[in-house]
A and B are shown apart, each in its own frame.
Chain A
């Protein structure tokens, strides 16, 4: 456990120091990784802890991105906190009915139903040009952070300075919250539902209600991450809701290791870095990513965190119940 704490402190130190030591390009590269970190923390509550594989989670990411785009670009509300608050409300409003319908099913049917809802939203974004800007999307105007506009900073300075620390702080707060959630009795209930829903129900766990709650929490995390994802890009477009984007979310989670609390966050960073490096090397980066994915699935199904854990398994007690 001490070693685990030390590793965590070290990672935190690296994240805090990054804007001061890394060249600006790499700092801007870390912004989507931070956003995906938040998204995947939520995603893994559903996938890793509750055992429900959503193939339409990009729906909520797009919801968050379009919220900040509409708020800043259309309505002129520049406060990012306001956008995030609205994104939380919107994602809950969408996730409750969608979740009510989806959590009655498990396994492949859950995956397919979520995929259908994701694609429903995508085709709405894509086809209703007057409302959503169609395939060109809605531009995101640079939001203010905590009421401050930073007029003296150009775009890069704004992104690698205040916005970076804003994203990092949000990730840390939400990670702490999620840690508390999965280590609460509620989190234990979710794992019980994952491992044996019938038995869980028999001993009094309200399976559907708890799955729904997990679904809504993960949707909120997705939407909050989505708002952060859209700001550096400066655009919310329908591709965010496309089913392949949901596939990428699953990819990142499995890459980092869904049996570990921090696995998905690590997966987000490694994926973003890997994609960037591959894209600068070759135009055929998708092929290389596919190869990486196949290797992970076939050889290291517990992901990168699984590799680390295996090496240190004798050094510290197992805190997570990985089922990979």
Chain B
């Protein structure tokens, strides 16, 4: 029972972080039709900047329990990088998918060296700061409260995002833009502005995800490329462009990974790719995806 809970909780924690990054990927794909390989760079940026922000806040004498708010603010403030990158991507909106993919690949290549330049090539950690919130008993097992808080934060963001997309006026415009861009322009909506906002939102989801994960794992340059394949697995399983798909995909990947790590570590990533391939063969549009054209 305790083992089962351990696996479940570590899987759900992983899924919570993955959902944020994959959610950003889905938003951007849904509206801009670009599969953003640079999402891993946003994630790593959030993690590195989170370390810097927390270290800075602690040096100013911030109490240990300020950890989570500081990280959230750090992740959110990275929204500033969204608009310039969107401006660059705008150059290839009506080009072939190969070029779009390659452009985000180029951004990812460059980000590796930017982070190396700023933060060096040795991984950055926050030590055991995540234990600042202590640990709680969940049934027969003990887990860091921080992980639970991250799971709750991720759920809150998912709910907020869902409400925004389904209920608000802006959400309706975003969905309409994803559905039929020429029509939305004919109705007098500035679709360029929608794109900037959506891309920035996607970026922020990635950076917040990175910032939240850093107290439990080191910020490293490997994060960039490693996360891309995981987030990619999530969106393929869930279906490109679907937020519900991101949620389900993240849970599948998170749980399968923690199960595999526990029972047969060699299968950690292999099992995920196998699921991806099976899903792509039987349901190429993913569990919740709509067919493209």
Contact = CB atoms under 8 A, between A and B. Distances in A.
A127 B103 CA distance: 31
B3 interface: no
A111 interface: yes
A287 B284 contact: no
A219 interface: no
Nearest to B236: A112
B232 A247 contact: no
B117 A284 contact: yes
Contact of A290 (B97, B107, B228): B107
B284 A119 contact: no
A158 interface: no
A124 interface: yes
B103 A294 contact: yes
Contacts of A243: 225, 228-229
B73 to A, nearest CB: 28
Contact of A294 (B35, B88, B240): B88
Contacts of A47: 98
Contacts of A293: 102-103, 105-106, 109
Interface string B106-129: 111110111011000000000000
Question: Which secondary structure dominates where chain A touches chain B?
Answer: helix
Interface string A111-129: 1110111011001101110
B65 interface: no
A47 B98 CA distance: 9
B31 to A, nearest CB: 15
A123 B281 CA distance: 20
A298 B91 contact: yes
Interface string A77-114: 00000000000000000000000010011011101110
B273 A123 contact: yes
B110 A116 contact: no
A287 B115 CA distance: 10
Interface in B250-274: 265-270, 273-274
Interface size class of B (residues with CB under 8 A): 35 or more
A301 B98 CA distance: 11
B95 interface: yes
A127 B266 CA distance: 5
A262 to B, nearest CB: 19
A297 B99 contact: yes
A55 interface: yes
Contacts of A127: 265-270
Contacts, number: 120
B105 A247 contact: yes
B292 interface: yes
Nearest to A285: B113
B243 interface: no
B269 A123 contact: yes
B171 to A, nearest CB: 25
Interface string A221-255: 00000000000000000000011100100110010
Given A53-B97, A120-B270, A244-B225, A251 B102 contact: yes
B281 to A, nearest CB: 6
Contact of A105 (B92, B240, B284): B284
A123 B257 CA distance: 13
Interface string A255-291: 0000000000000000000000000000111110111
B161 interface: no
Contact of B113 (A101, A112, A286): A286
Contacts of B37: 247
B225 A109 contact: no
A188 to B, nearest CB: 21
Given A53-B98, A254-B98, A284-B113, A242 B225 contact: yes
B277 A301 contact: no
A297 B103 contact: yes
Given A112-B232, A297-B106, A250 B273 contact: no
Contact of B109 (A104, A128, A242, A286): A286
Contacts of B274: 120
Nearest to B103: A297
A289 B109 contact: yes
B148 interface: no
A47 B97 CA distance: 12
The 3 closest A-B pairs by CB, nearest first: A290-B110, A287-B113, A293-B106
21 contacts: A53-B98, A53-B101, A55-B101, A101-B280, A112-B232, A115-B232, A116-B233, A116-B276, A123-B270, A126-B269, A127-B269, A247-B37, A251-B102, A254-B102, A285-B113, A290-B109, A293-B106, A294-B106, A294-B107, A297-B92, A297-B99
Interface of B: 35, 37, 88, 91-92, 95, 97-99, 101-103, 105-110, 112-114, 116-117, 225, 228-229, 232-233, 236, 240, 265-270, 273-274, 276-277, 280-281, 284, 292
Given A120-B273, A293-B102, 19 more contacts: A53-B98, A53-B101, A105-B280, A108-B292, A109-B292, A112-B35, A116-B236, A116-B280, A123-B269, A123-B273, A126-B269, A127-B265, A242-B225, A243-B225, A284-B113, A290-B113, A293-B109, A297-B95, A298-B92
